[in-house]
Structure 1
Amino acid sequence: AGETLARWGRRPPWGGGLLRRAVSFTSSRCHGVGSGEGGARHADSGSAQGGYRDTVLLPHTEFPMKLSGQKLLDREVEIQQKCGFAELYSWQRERKSKKEFCLHDGPPYANGDPHVGHALNKILKDIRNRFEMLRGRQVHYIPGWDCHGLPIELKALGEVGTSGLSPLQIRQKAREFAEGAIARQKAAFQRWGVMADWDQCYYTYDGAYEAAQLKVFQEMFSKGIIYQDYKPVFWSPSSRTALAEAELEYNTEHVSRAIYATFPLVKPPPKIAAEKGVSVLVWTTQPWTIPANQAVCYMPNAQYSVVKRADNTQLLLVATERTASMAALLGTQLESVGTFTGSQLEGGICKHPTLPDKDVPLLPANHVTMDKGTGLVHTAPAHGMEDYSVASHFKLSVECMVDEDGKFTELAGPELQSLSVMAEGTDKVISMLKECGALVKEEQCVHSYPYDWRTKQPVVIRPSKQWFINTASLKDKAKEALQKVRVLPESARGSLLAMLDRRTYWCISRQRSWGVPIPVFYHRETGEPLINKHTVSHIANLFKEKGSDCWWELPIETLLPPDVLKKSKAGPVADYVRGEDVLDIWFDSGASWAAVLQDPRADAYVEGKDQIGGWFQSSLFTSVAVRNKAPYKSLVVHGFAVSENGDKMSKSLGNVVDPDVVINGGQDPIMPAYGADVLRWWVAESNIFSEVQIGPTVLNLARDNIGKLRSILKFLLGNLQGFDPRVQAVDPKQMHYIDQYMLHLLREFSIKVTDAYSEFDAGRVIRTLQAFLTRDLSSFYFSIIKDRLYCEPEDSLGRRSCQTALEEILDGVTRAIAPILPHLAEEVYLHAPGHDRIGWIKSSSVWRRPGLEEAVEGACAIRDLFLSSIPGKHAAQYDLTIAIEPGLLFELMESLQEEPTSTSSQLAELMMAARVSLVSELPCDLPPDTLLNHGTFLINLEGGVIREDSAYSIAVVPTSAARCPRCRRYTVQSADCLCPRCKTVVSQAH
């Protein structure tokens, strides 16, 4: 079958090509499809035929070939209203179903207008949901919004800033801003045809949601996974808050003033007899951290050398493998005085360059690398994650000399106090190193550096008392849970695991007002936190009833009542103050499984690749911590929408594609009104696992492809006008072989489409659909059946057989496109009443008749040989003789034509020839202009049990018959006579 079907991929010489050609319509009547000679294609032309026009059954339907501009937009909105798009989700939730499909919606951020990234994500989800609904499952899909966080707070406050505003005033403005963004986004999602109960969405600022989130917080706290500590965090001076790693952007073009500085060795390591005057050489890209230095770290198993500079008497301690690079950098030769292993440096002590009274130990550390620098790492525990680990291990002090604005405090000394560490503070430290003779070299270093993703300003690492999740304790469980999760594409699994590995702890406290308050109270004098299951449960109940504004609105006596204090074994309420931090919004959204899902796990989470380090991860950590399992059975990770040139969209480049403009059209004529279904086709057709390009070229192509699909649907609808399948359908066993064969191909099509939808591969659905429409229907089937459809008696078995197949094809194609193009599918149903709009493609095993494929495909192989013998000529003008030795192939062809010669057999129809003769051997008296050809066909029956390679020959001669003036087939003796079939039809009509 595959080989024969492949042959149909080329445009056949006898015509076809419905998808490539427009179908001409007059007064809502179509006069044929493609350019084949089958039937009454030219029924309105020619004086002889004109008289029989009313006896030819041409297609008729009011279904429009094309919709554009305002008519298209009005039609889509009308269909949404008339066909109950708004009620569909509620309806399917109420019907009985054995299985549920749960796609958990990752909350988009409520801080702006809808964009094409939203369209890609929401439509992709809707395609899968509609497919699952059609196949009979009850879909659980609750759209949600992430409503808290700094970006909303900053946009809401705008020029005003936080000056003079209370937390409640800030929260009110932020809530109003979020509500406006949600309303705009929700309206867009509905216009795109996304199926949901839009009155029952979830919002992370709802009291019930916040209460569920606090229960997750409490369970994690009670297990010791959430804790308070003083340790380095990513701190944004521009936002004045701690950040999690997921809130960072790395600027690869960041320029730092890197320095090489010396720490004099005042106490040599006991295992080394070092010369006097040796200095340890360190390198850092952050000179401002030098005042906070507590140690210099080395790699225990590396080689180190004391080297002497050729241009002065300086002795430097550096890693042996960095000596050559250092010599080149300093522009002098470095002579090795002594070499030893790193472990021999143990016990050595240096002097701090700018703090003469401070001793600095040499300490071993595994994070030291040899790819850059000197192999000796300046260690400031307050300003580096690895540095802090060293400090924890060796009990070093962690002193913070930097305040919340990113400026040196008085601890840094009067020379540095109040200077910004990233600007004039760096200048001053470098100046101090110069003055004391410790600066060996300064250079500009372009490298990747973390920035605040909201303010686009650099962050610093500084210690702060914050609330953390110990993700290190959850990593192994999270990895184990991920093994049971299906990841699409599978390549994304590695990124997920790498992200998990990189995260040792997660800072979840933020110093802002717009968020869920961390339910903790602090003792006025000791600062000790008061938090336990009693306090958190009480706060959660209050949030559920009143919302989290009550944290600021209610008196502390209500937040911390006597019974809670008693259960907590705490002192009087007057001893406590409420905390001022709010939870990280990644914890907000990461707890959505607890607030939204009914079942333990969703069938799928579907988001962009940025959520690998975001929502996918925060959801996994919280769920594993509380329930020891992932909240999802499968993860679908899609790419980002980019411009047509593959560039990231930005307003400055002017390449932003607005989905509203895609649907409704823009001022630029290059952007006409495409409507929602074109936007949906774009999503479906794209390779979602890579970057997804959008622009006029792909949108025009999508519109054209939908137009071609409409022409196929119009042909099907036009030829089914007045056909009632309940009383006029033909039993499959009585249908013509070619019609049965099309049902067989429809069944194969439905299996492929079902598999593709199940894999979140709507692109494969579209490719499968286009192949079926172009190759199997337009170029093949439609070319063959037009004579039977237009010219046979209306109620004949042959015509009803064909309509039975067309009815099933229309039904199958419409259901196949419905998840992607719901507006078009509903429009088809409006023009074909009587269809059940819910249900997946019907296919029956009855359609697989033994020998059916072999009979039709054997005939197609013979036809291919016949058509290749008359390139560019009309098959209808030739008589064809097929000679096959007695055997299986002959018997199969006999099932298509019982009599030796025929102008009206199924074999003649399939060949589209004037007359077909089926013989066991070619006659001897063939005319001299006969075209002879030979071929073979391999018959494969019963799974290979029966295999027969059959030879056949064909003889092709121009027909001597004239053309019937009604059906235009060459089947009459003279041009003024009707063929017997047409004569019967015309006489019955009169």
Structure 2
Amino acid sequence: MRWGLRPRGPEAAALATARSLWGTPRLPCSPGWQGATKRLLVRSVSGASNHQPNSNTGRYRDTVLLPQTNFPMKLLGRQQPDKELEIQQKCGFSELYSWQRERKVKTEFCLHDGPPYANGDPHVGHALNKILKDIANRFHMMSGSKVHFVPGWDCHGLPIEIKVLSELGREAQNLSAMEIREKARSFAKAAIEKQKSAFIRWGIMADWNNCYYTFDGKYEAKQLRTFYQMYDKGLVYRSYKPVFWSPSSRTALAEAELEYNPEHVSRSIYVKFPLLKPSPKLASLIDGSSPVSFLVWTTQPWTIPANEAVCYMPESKYAVVKCSKSGDLYVLAADKVETVASTLETAFETISTFSGVDLENGTCSHPLIPDKASPLLPANHVTMAKGTGLVHTAPAHGMEDYGVASQHNLPMDCLVDEDGVFTDVAGPELQNKAVLEEGTDMLQTAKNLLKEEKLVHSYPYDWRTKKPVVIRASKQWFINIADIKIAAKELLKKVKFIPGSALNGMVEMMDRRPYWCISRQRVWGVPIPVFHHKTKDEYLINSQTIEHIVKLVEQHGSDVWWTLPPEQLLPKEVLSEVGGPDALEYVPCQDILDIWFDSGTSWSHVLPGPDQRADLYLEGKDQLGGWFQSSLLTIFIPEPTSLPKTSVQLIGIESHCVYIFFSTEKDQSKEPPYGADLIPMSFTEVAIDISKVRTIILPISKGQLRNTLRFLLGNVADFNPETDSIPVNDMYVIDQYMLHLLQDLANKITELYKQYDFGKVVRLLRTFYTRELSHFYFSIIKDRLYCEKENDPRRRSCQTALVEILDVIVRSFAPILPHLAEEVFQHIPYIKEPKSVFRTGWISTSSIWKKPGLEEAVESACAMRDSFLGSIPGKNAAEYKVIIVIEPGLLFEIIEMLQSEETSSTSQLNELMMASESTLLAQEPREMTADVIELKGKFLINLEGGDIREESSYKVIVMPTTKEKCPRCWKYTAESSDTLCPRCAEVVSGK
């Protein structure tokens, strides 16, 4: 203590508190760096010298301790993928999954793999999906859990069948069902092998010899058992209902198999439905002198022939209007009068208004069949958003229409066949015409068409053939979602969704589906295990038939449905009851199960234990209406099961995935040119927008992280943590502070992994190793690392911190960049026989690292440092000396702990300032030269959560140094340019 100044009273207590928080270092040392501090977010080293001693010139080159490591700064061209393959073999990537399964640990983590579709080459969507799952698995494995992860493939379905048939061309017309199935199976197997090879190349941790496949007999058998259990509970039924139908695929589709084309062009029409029988209220409002018609708007004129009613909204207001052109009276919603009149290029005079409920019991004529009545019916699905407020209703061709028909017992005749053309029931004028191409000639002939125009709007398309679908009624098999919707919603409340908004999205999709059509009119899939009566509308299915079929499928696969005669598909006891082998009354159903039912029942085959629950489902956002929902809807047998205990994570995958990470050259088509580790690094950054992957990969490939790791490895080459480490309380303040911040970083990283926020993990690490480490801490400690004696405690203090930093960083990014983590682990000099980093556990920190009081010392010193460096932009800080003047008080006492003597070129304070020398005073010097720079500032000390607060003023005085550049350390601390500075002279004399 100098100048006779001693803290007293509250100041003394505050200083004692500060010292107790960080301990009193026993070495002269140097603070610096910042991370989770409160005010100074970025500390630039602009103006500081970035020169390093050059070991290749000068007679002192052998006395400088430069970094030593074989870890390469860059891997160019083929080096990156070649190095990854070498690491996979050396570090046992292929054995890692089985190794961790054999460990005796208390906790288990189960990630249920949603199966990719086996119909093409691996692409960016696969990479995103599998790598993100691998990140989660590796983290939980390193954290001490036994990971359960069984990868699988979705192998059946229309896309595969269509590809096979399209490749065969005309030859496909003569193929039997079994021939199609055999070719489809071969196609799927080939696709699986391609995708599996890619997943292994990317380093995905799994037992690749034991995957699940939906075309496996044992899998199919469990699927059929699940189907029957749901049927037995009344959840599965057969009915005649309108469904989405793809004429291009000739099969029914579920909503999850649709995509909406916003550029679809429809013919929208305004059509008259002449009044046939007015309701009492309407009769009182019209005089009978002019024709009266109900005005209807539709975008699907092909459904008009199937009309059975016109619906209105009971609570809405309607109007009788008179057309200025024709004098005819029209009925439409009161709110739509002006809009519709403008569209029809006329004017309407409102005669009277009334409530929709007043239309009850009225009827109108069918616009094509004058003697056919179309009743006026109330319906809640009628809206005023578009049209006229009156909705044409064709029960066989609309979901809401079907609901109205069911309630009022209307006919549900379908006028459209499997190819999307009118049947003979539609009349000779329409028969064999494609419904989506059909004009409105019939309406014009009947003089009931008022206007026709093209409308561009969103319309459902078959997501496989990219062609429009229609809605048509047919006999199909359904799951009654209405009966399980309430229970399903309650179950979803117990699941954590990431992001949280996805839960609402999934519930909304479920609310839009009153039922799920699970039958398909194809052959490449699992058969619906029922038998249809040859002449009656009856079918056969019971526990006996199911058990018999399940055993056959389990042993021989679902091909038996097509290869065995019908009598062998039934058990003997049932066969004798239905006509025997010679007079069998039933034939096997020719429909197969929707492949969403295939994959949705994967939990029953894959998940372990009696509860069959997963900890995590992680898929693309498109699976809200797909695999997530089909998995949910198949678990209610006999009790809800399989839903993840912890969370469902949704990852946005663009539908137009581009193969951007594969080389365009043919000989490298299977190798990512940047290496597999660059793919996950970029994916964690752009989990919502795949289109940005290219722009993220390129900057990462420059090797910022590798340079940081190389610095860390090179500067611990002569360090043995077991014998050379410095106790934490004896370390430099800056080194202690680094450990303090390192613990905070480790805690945040761990929590982010638990929340599956891998993007924030990457961003936090990147900030740490670029801004905080490379740009700040490393620039401060280079002199201490390179120019002190090898075993000097000040150097060992720094190396002790570097070892911990290296360990935490490598483990932090290991789940995301496994190849790089293993490569670094193999180059750690003090590990003689390096094991896989994944076999050595997660991040380990010490509670004694936590010293929040260090923040005040480092922040206050850095504030002064920033003032100094900001005053000499572009210049070498080592060519200046600084005088720091602090008014007596707590701030002075804190800074004094960094420099006990008045002036020093080797203190902790001067190391931080990076100046030639630093002087600490409690009052300004009496004399100063004219070329000085004076900088003023204030710093608020805030300790113990605000209980101790004190704002202190300080002044930084900057002036050129009078010393010369030391030929060894290049600091301006020597008496002459050809003599060593005192510190270097002492080091060299010791050597």
Same fold (TM over 0.5): yes
The reply to whether residue 63 of structure 1 matches residue 71 of structure 2 is yes
Give distance in 1, aligned partners of 2:280 and 2:171. 59
The reply to whether residue 203 of structure 1 matches residue 224 of structure 2 is no
In structure 1, the residue matched to 2:536 is: 526
The reply to whether residue 87 of structure 1 matches residue 89 of structure 2 is no
Give distance in 2, aligned partners of 1:320 and 1:959. 89
Cα shift at 1:256: 2.5
In structure 2, the residue matched to 1:897 is: 899
Q: Which residue among 448, 461, 476 is the counterpart of 2:486? A: 476
**Total equivalences in the alignment:** 940
Q: Does the 8 Å contact 1:474/1:625 carry over to 2?
A: no
In structure 2, the residue matched to 1:757 is: 753
In structure 2, the residue matched to 1:332 is: 346
Cα shift at 1:666: 7.2
The reply to whether residue 986 of structure 1 matches residue 988 of structure 2 is yes
Q: Which amino acid aligns with 1:9?
A: V
| Structure 1 portions without partners, runs of 5+ | 16-34, 643-647, 650-655
Give distance in 2, aligned partners of 1:767 and 1:232. 50
Q: Which amino acid aligns with 1:214?
A: L
Cα shift at 1:610: 1.4
Q: Which residue among 964, 967, 970 is the counterpart of 1:965? A: 967
Classify 1:614/1:316 alpha carbon distance in 2 versus 1 (closer, same or farther; 3 Å): same
The reply to whether residue 246 of structure 1 matches residue 256 of structure 2 is yes
In structure 2, the residue matched to 1:684 is: 684
Alignment map for 1:20-419 (pairs within 5 Å)? 35-36=49-50, 40-45=52-57, 50-158=58-166, 159-160=169-170, 162-271=172-281, 272-273=283-284, 274-276=286-288, 277-419=291-433
Cα shift at 1:4: 6.1
User: Larger deviation: 58-67 or 945-954?
Assistant: 945-954
Give distance in 1, aligned partners of 2:331 and 2:267. 22
Give distance in 1, aligned partners of 2:39 and 2:890. 24
Q: Which amino acid aligns with 1:329?
A: T
In structure 1, the residue matched to 2:674 is: 674
Cα shift at 1:357: 4.2
The reply to whether residue 515 of structure 1 matches residue 525 of structure 2 is yes
Deviations 1:217-253 (A, max 9, x none): 1221111111110111111122111111111122222
Classify 1:255/1:925 alpha carbon distance in 2 versus 1 (closer, same or farther; 3 Å): closer
SS in 2 for 1:328: helix
Cα shift at 1:51: 0.9
Q: Does the 8 Å contact 1:664/1:672 carry over to 2?
A: no
| Structure 2 portions without partners, runs of 5+ | 1-33
SS in 1 for 2:677: helix
Q: Does the 8 Å contact 1:488/1:636 carry over to 2?
A: yes
Cα shift at 1:464: 0.8
Cα shift at 1:503: 0.7
Q: Which residue among 834, 843, 868 is the counterpart of 1:866? A: 868
Classify 1:335/1:849 alpha carbon distance in 2 versus 1 (closer, same or farther; 3 Å): closer
SS in 2 for 1:685: coil
Q: Which amino acid aligns with 1:167?
A: A
Cα shift at 1:115: 1.4
In structure 2, the residue matched to 1:451 is: 461
Deviations 1:751-804 (A, max 9, x none): 222233233322222221222122321222212211211111112211211111
Give distance in 2, aligned partners of 1:672 and 1:604. 28
Q: Does the 8 Å contact 1:246/1:614 carry over to 2?
A: yes
Deviations 1:130-185 (A, max 9, x none): 22222222222222211111110010122246422222111111111111111111
Q: Does the 8 Å contact 1:641/1:694 carry over to 2?
A: no
SS in 2 for 1:518: coil
Give distance in 1, aligned partners of 2:618 and 2:449. 53
Deviations 1:867-886 (A, max 9, x none): 34444443333343334455
Alignment map for 1:340-739 (pairs within 5 Å)? 340-423=354-437, 426-427=438-439, 430-563=440-573, 572=580, 574-598=584-608, 600-624=612-636, 626-628=638-640, 631-632=643-644, 633-641=646-654, 648=656, 656-661=658-663, 673-686=673-686, 688=687, 690-694=688-692, 696-704=694-702, 707-739=703-735
In structure 1, the residue matched to 2:765 is: 769
Q: Does the 8 Å contact 1:963/1:971 carry over to 2?
A: yes
Q: Does the 8 Å contact 2:740/2:852 carry over to 1?
A: no
Give distance in 2, aligned partners of 1:907 and 1:325. 78
SS in 1 for 2:321: strand
Cα shift at 1:3: 8.9
Classify 1:313/1:978 alpha carbon distance in 2 versus 1 (closer, same or farther; 3 Å): closer
Deviations 1:10-59 (A, max 9, x none): 432343xxxxxxxxxxxxxxxxxxx435xx523434xxxx1111111111
Classify 1:725/1:230 alpha carbon distance in 2 versus 1 (closer, same or farther; 3 Å): same
**Identity across matched positions, percent:** 58
User: Larger deviation: 722-731 or 408-417?
Assistant: 408-417
Give distance in 1, aligned partners of 2:420 and 2:398. 15
Cα shift at 1:470: 1.0
Q: Does the 8 Å contact 2:309/2:375 carry over to 1?
A: yes
Q: Which amino acid aligns with 1:368?
A: V
Deviations 1:350-405 (A, max 9, x none): 33343344332222222222333333322221111111111111111211222222
Higher RCO (CA-CA < 8 Å; seq separation 6+): 2
In structure 1, the residue matched to 2:951 is: 949
Deviations 1:907-929 (A, max 9, x none): 33222233333344344344554
SS in 1 for 2:940: strand
SS in 2 for 1:397: coil
SS in 2 for 1:69: coil
Classify 1:2/1:778 alpha carbon distance in 2 versus 1 (closer, same or farther; 3 Å): closer
Q: Which residue among 794, 811, 826 is the counterpart of 1:830? A: 826
Give distance in 2, aligned partners of 1:900 and 1:446. 81
Give distance in 2, aligned partners of 1:931 and 1:312. 93
Cα shift at 1:887: 4.0
Classify 1:564/1:841 alpha carbon distance in 2 versus 1 (closer, same or farther; 3 Å): farther
In structure 2, the residue matched to 1:12 is: 45
SS in 1 for 2:109: strand
Q: Which amino acid aligns with 1:771?
A: T
Cα shift at 1:571: 6.4
Classify 1:54/1:415 alpha carbon distance in 2 versus 1 (closer, same or farther; 3 Å): same
Classify 1:548/1:988 alpha carbon distance in 2 versus 1 (closer, same or farther; 3 Å): same
Classify 1:932/1:285 alpha carbon distance in 2 versus 1 (closer, same or farther; 3 Å): closer
Deviations 1:665-708 (A, max 9, x none): 979xxx9932222222211222x2x323236543321212xx11
Give distance in 2, aligned partners of 1:328 and 1:857. 71
Give distance in 2, aligned partners of 1:283 and 1:961. 92
Q: Does the 8 Å contact 2:661/2:674 carry over to 1?
A: no
Classify 1:716/1:410 alpha carbon distance in 2 versus 1 (closer, same or farther; 3 Å): same
Q: Which amino acid aligns with 1:492?
A: A
Give distance in 1, aligned partners of 2:276 and 2:957. 106
Cα shift at 1:741: 1.3
SS in 2 for 1:809: helix
Q: Which amino acid aligns with 1:798?
A: R
CA RMSD of aligned residues (A): 2.7
Deviations 1:496-515 (A, max 9, x none): 22211111111000010001
Deviations 1:91-113 (A, max 9, x none): 22222322222222221111111
Give distance in 1, aligned partners of 2:99 and 2:625. 36
Cα shift at 1:342: 2.3
Classify 1:869/1:390 alpha carbon distance in 2 versus 1 (closer, same or farther; 3 Å): closer
Give distance in 1, aligned partners of 2:575 and 2:660. 55
